[in-house]
Structures are given as C-alpha cells and as structure tokens.
Structure 1
Amino acid sequence: MATKTSERVLQMKENFWDLHLQGFSIPEIANMYGLSPSTVYSYLDKIAQEHEVSREELLQQVHKTPAYWERQEASMKANGEDIAKGFDSILESISGLQGTITDAIIAIDAALNNNKEDFER
C-alpha cells in the first residue's frame, strides 16, 4: 500500500523547489525550515527526478536573481528602520527615567531639609 504524502509536505517540497530556482542554496533553504541540508537535498532530488532534471543540474548553483537581491536589500532596510525605531524608544525611556530620578532627588532633598529643620528646632 502506497503512503499518501500530506498536503503540508507537498507544499514544503514545492517551496523548496521555488526557493532553489530563486537562487537560494540548499543550506540556506535548510536553515529557513530548521532542517538538515541532506533532508532538503533529498526532497529536491525527488522533485528533480519528477521534472527529469539531472543530479548535476540540481547541484549546480543557481545564480541569485535580481528579485533575490531586491529582497535582501529590502530586508536590510527594514532591519535598519526597526533598529532606528528601537533606539528612539530607548531614548524616550531614558528621558522618562531621567525625569523620575530628578523628581526622586528633589523629593529626597526636600525631605532631608525638612528633617534638618525639625532637628534644629
């Protein structure tokens, strides 16, 4: 009796193939899915056989497409923007903390002055 492949596995295999054709290496694809490169290679090998692609063609490094480089650049820009937002948030927090510390110092100073006046009486 033949085993039926789940829809999830079929989709994953198709994603592997699409990513490989977009220029992602087998180790890069494996890293994306948290799998070993040999597992990804095994799936790609099965797909290649289905598409009558030779083992050599499968292992040939596909050149990164312009779309790949655009995604890489966009991801770096997004990360830079996220970092800038993070720094702004940190600066706001520091500013708030400075105000709280200043208020605490003023309150302590006032309390000390009141105690000093009470002591001198």
Structure 2
Amino acid sequence: MAEKTTTVKKKETEDVSTVERTRSSRCFVPLTDIIENEEEIILTADMPGVDQKSIDVTLENNQLTIQGYVKERIPEAFRLVHTEYDVGDFYRSFTLSDTIDRNKIEASIKNGVLKLRLPKADEAKARKITVN
C-alpha cells in the first residue's frame, strides 16, 4: 500500500520574480529536504550566509514562507578581485495542509541551515482503533 504524503507540498510553479522585490540583489530558491514520521515533519533549507537576524519565517493562511537576506562581506578598504560565491537573498514558499498544528511550529538556524519542525495535529496522527 503506497503511503500518501500530502501534508506539505511544494508550490507547482514557484517564480521568485513574481514576488515584489525591494532589494536589487539576486534571489535564490534554497535547496530543501523534507522528512516526516508519525509525529512531525522536519524541513531543512540550505541558506548559506543567513543567520538568525537576517531571516523571516511567516505563516499566512496556508502559506509558509521563508526569506533570508545576505549582504556582501567585503571589508572596508578592500575591493573584490575574484569571487566564486554568489551573494543574494533566499525565498521559498510552501502550502501547508490542515494536518499541521500551526501553533507549535518551531524554527532554528545554525551554520546557514534553517530547520523547521512542523508537528502534526492530534487528529492527523496515526492511532490504533479498537475493534469490539
């Protein structure tokens, strides 16, 4: 029997250019892994250069949105000679189903990796039903 995982689904067409941009820097879609068990879904997103002060995670209606902001880090009195690292902001949005307990979502970021814990609502958790 195939497992049905419809709890978190990526928007089919995600175009960051449709988002109103107020900064002129590039915008990247962070690479994301999503895993789940009976209790929760864990989403991790790679956002190099982003720290706790430069990230926004918002939930509006069923849209979970992550945005990270990165500045160029060239010290004063220096000029850029060569670069292999693109600097830019991060943006990604996910549609949540009703099986997520929105009041218990937790977020943390460490070394440029955002981790979101999305607990499942009690109604969505698997349970054994007694047969009389």
Q: TM-score, normalised by structure 1?
A: 0.26
Greater radius of gyration (CA): 1
User: When you count strand as a share of all residues, which structure comes out higher?
Assistant: 2
